[in-house]
Amino acid sequence: MIETEVAKGRQGQQKICRVPFGEIVLRFGAPARVAARDVIEVSMPVGLYTSCSVAAPCGLCSTERVIGLLDVPDHLLDPDRMRAALIWFWRGYVEYQFPNNARVLSATIAAVEFTVELSSEVPGTNADWPSDISVWVNGIQIGTWTSPGDFGDVRGTFTPRWWKLGGSQYGKLTRWSVTPAGTFMDGVKLSSVTLDELELERHHSVRLRIGIGENAAHPGGVNIFGRGFGNYDQDIVMRLHLQRGDTIV
């Protein structure tokens, strides 16, 4: 800010400018303290699995191209998998390792929740192709969801244009929640596995495995959609819900 003043000079008038302040501090209405949160959220790219064991047909691709060779299970270990936005396989699993930040903060977990877009997997697509997709947390199978099919009737909202319409386009956004009362899928009880059984407080990480169980009644493969593919522009999201009083700032 500058103050100006008009004064008489030797040859008429002159404008005198001066700085009235040595320092200016701007405040934009932000609260003095960030609001406390009772949820820790971590987003995991679908290609950052730490272990896998799959059977063909299988493959993965980024938002720009197919990664490696199709239907070659060993190519799911390609270092470029970190760029993957879509993964598919017929049998087996992929496993992810999330940081247990609640343990680092000495906070008590009240529930753990995962959201991920999934569908069945069949060469081409078939909306009527059930598949029993299971989820394990820290080695414990928390439940199985029967996907109704592999969807390719319309292009996924975020699926790139180069990906042919005959390929898997989108899935169902599934939400898996493990609480003291059991495990729930989108609010409906899926199994009796409780939060205590996972013993999250004893582990530095939370391991999430997605796959087709060996004894699946409908072994119809799985597509895992990440950011840039499908109808939901997100990766796999883990939320650790904390007990009241254990909020973080």
pLDDT tens digit string along 97-149? 999 999 999 999 999 999 999 999 999 899 999 999 999 999 999 999 999 99
Q: The tokens of 184 are what?
A: 């729930």
> What pTM, to 2 d.p., does this model score?
0.84
Q: Look at residue 193 and tell me whether its pLDDT is greater than 80.
A: yes
pLDDT tens digit string along 59-74? 999 999 999 999 999 9
Domains assigned to the chain: 35-242 (2.60.120.260)
When the pLDDT of each residue in the chain is averaged and rounded to a whole number, the result is 90
Residue indicated by tokens 């030797």: 10
Higher pLDDT, 193 or 124: 193
CA atoms within 13 A of residue 139's CA, in its CB half-sphere: 5
Contacts of 168 (CB under 8 A, 6+ apart): 86, 88, 119, 121, 125, 150, 151, 152, 223
pLDDT tens digit string along 170-189? 999 999 999 999 999 988 99
